[in-house]
Amino acid sequence: MSVVTQNRPPAVASPSPKSRSRGRRQRNTFVAVLMAPSAIGFVVFFGYPLVQTVYLSFTHYNLISAPTWAGLDNFRYMLVDAQFWPAVRNTLWMLAILVPLHVGLSMLIAVLIMGVKRGRTALRVVFYFPSLVPPVAAGLAFVYLLNPGTGPVNKVLAAVGVPAPQWFESPTWSKPALILLSLWGVGTFVVIFYTSLLDVPLEQYEAASIDGAGAARRFWHITLPTLRPVILFASITGVIDVLQYFAQPYVVAQVLSGGTATTAGTLGYPQDSTMFYSVLLYKQGFQNFNLGYASALASLLFVVSIAVAALFVRRARTWF
């Protein structure tokens, strides 16, 4: 009787607990080294300014003398500040009008471009190009275009017999004029909506057409659900942009009220109709040098921005 012997592979010795612990420490150290630049940048450029702003919001500070503790005085002053509530009303007005128009117009243009058989690339370039223009340059261009006396827009309106508005010179028309200026640069979201539309399966449209669904039903039941994440993103960024709305109203008011490179114009011109929250924050901080009060405004703006973004994310599924 022969005995068959089998060559078994040598058993691999499992690492000792001490080796595993040393390996974890090395991996954690490597990850920490990789994340260090980002973490340092976050602390230096976001964390420290945020903490400092919150601290200054409870002080009186004018950039020259040391901050002095003021408790809630800056926040109480908001309630009696003559320009605080006009700034809040103007910002809410812009939120209610501009954000839906911005999202709706971007989506409409993207859908129309998708329906074009030829020249889609050229149309995308045409609509995207204005968004590359800096806000200051766009503001100066619209001050010229909408000039009540010499602007080409009013000349065209007069030629066809339409009463010409005073645009930026009128408290009634200044915000609608800023709406036109903002809608001129919808190209970025047109491209985003267009890219999202390319992901919609054509088979779904074909099946819906065979079932007798019209264009409106196909848009409501197929296109709109596909665009839901983009609509949410555009809405959140639109709200945050309006809460930080500064460059265009600053340029328009500065130019039309006679400000120059060395002298300050009247922010909010005309009659505080372009006084938005961020403009008021800038005025208090860098024209009146009320850094404590400006920090209180900035802290409140930060809290409102976080709350609005959280509300959108939490309730988005029931809105779309």
CATH of 82-318, one of 1.10.3720.10, 3.40.190.10, 3.30.360.10, 3.50.7.10: 1.10.3720.10
| C-alpha 13, offset from chain centre | 57
Mean pLDDT, range 229-242, rounded to an integer = 90
| 62 or 315, greater pLDDT | 62
Q: In the predicted model, is pLDDT for residue 209 greater than 90?
A: no
Provide the residue ranges of all domains of the chain, joining segments of one domain with +.
20-72, 82-318
pLDDT tens digit string along 188-201? 999 999 999 988 88
Q: What is the mean pLDDT of the chain?
A: 88
| 208 or 75, greater pLDDT | 75
pTM for the structure as a whole: 0.83
Mean pLDDT, range 19-29, rounded to an integer = 86
Mean pLDDT, range 154-167, rounded to an integer = 91
Residue 265: per-residue pLDDT: 63
Note whether 279 and 251 are within 8 A (CB).
Answer: no
Q: In the predicted model, is pLDDT for residue 284 greater than 60?
A: yes
Contacts by 41-46, CB closer than 8 A, 24 or more apart: none
φ, ψ at 50 (rounded to 5°): -65, -45
Residue 206: per-residue pLDDT: 84
DSSP string for residues in 258-284: T--SSS---TTTTTTTT--HHHHHHII
- The span from the CA of 169 to the CA of 257, in Å, is 9
| 255 or 295, greater pLDDT | 295
- % of the chain exceeding 90 in pLDDT: 57
pLDDT tens digit string along 105-127? 999 999 999 888 888 889 989 99
DSSP string for residues in 19-73: HHHHHHHHHHHHHHHHHHHHHHHHIIIIIHHHHHHHHHTTEE--SSSPPEE-TTH
- % of the chain exceeding 70 in pLDDT: 92
- How sure is the predictor about 5, in pLDDT bands with cuts at 50, 70 and 90? low
Handedness of CA 33, 35, 41, 47 (dihedral sign): negative
